[in-house]
Amino acid sequence: MLAYDALPKSVIVPVGYGRAIRVPAGTLVTIEQTTGYQIVDFIAFRDDDLTEKLSTSHTLASLGRMWPIAGQRLLSNRRTPLLELVEDTAGRHDLTMAACDPWRYEIDFGVSGHRNCSDNFLELFGPLGIERHDLPNPVNFFQKTIYGDDGQVGFLEPSAGPGSHVILRALVPLLLGFSACPMDLNPPRERTPGDIVVRIAASDDQA
């Protein structure tokens, strides 16, 4: 885990793997597609209290929306604003789906040993004493989930092409986790996704 004084300007998140970054308040965090069409599972913990963490359910209820738009804030399990969505060139995300985990692949697809976002986050935050049940449900950036009037849920191919991005502003000191989702079994998978780049800047350094 990186210290504040060792903040990188950019970090590559390879497809199927995760990365973690510690950021102070005011930091601008850009999550950007490389080849495009990649879903990014994103979680956050308050740096001074790991029991306070990003909560998609609290955010959804307070926003009254299925996904955030620019200018809105992502809330914690105590409804503290943790991050602001500053810019969004994709326009569609998901606040409802849990991170993929070993059981998702084993039970739903009959596949064992598949990489998954839940394990990625455990690899990142396990050394800090975080267990699987401590992980918050992620914001699934760039994921297009649809909901029918009959209650059916569907998954569409992400429309976020190369260079599509979101920019977040940290409102408090945070530990951030990013997973370039390994899911390759949900239909449709018409394109080959690529790595994600995370760019870090002080609020007065980024155009």
Report the pLDDT value the prediction gives residue 157, as an integer from 0 to 100.
Answer: 81
Low-confidence ranges of the chain (pLDDT < 70): 1-6, 187-191, 204-207
C-beta neighbour count of 202 within 10 angstroms? 12
In single-letter form, the type of residue at position 138 comes to P
| Residue 63 Cα distances to 60, 72, 81, 172, 200, angstroms | 5, 8, 12, 19, 26
Domain definitions of the chain by residue range: 18-201
**Alpha-helix runs per DSSP H in the chain:** 56-63, 102-109, 117-125
C-beta neighbour count of 152 within 10 angstroms? 8
With beta carbons less than 8 A apart as the criterion, state whether 54 and 43 touch. Answer: yes
Report the pLDDT value the prediction gives residue 68, as an integer from 0 to 100.
Answer: 94
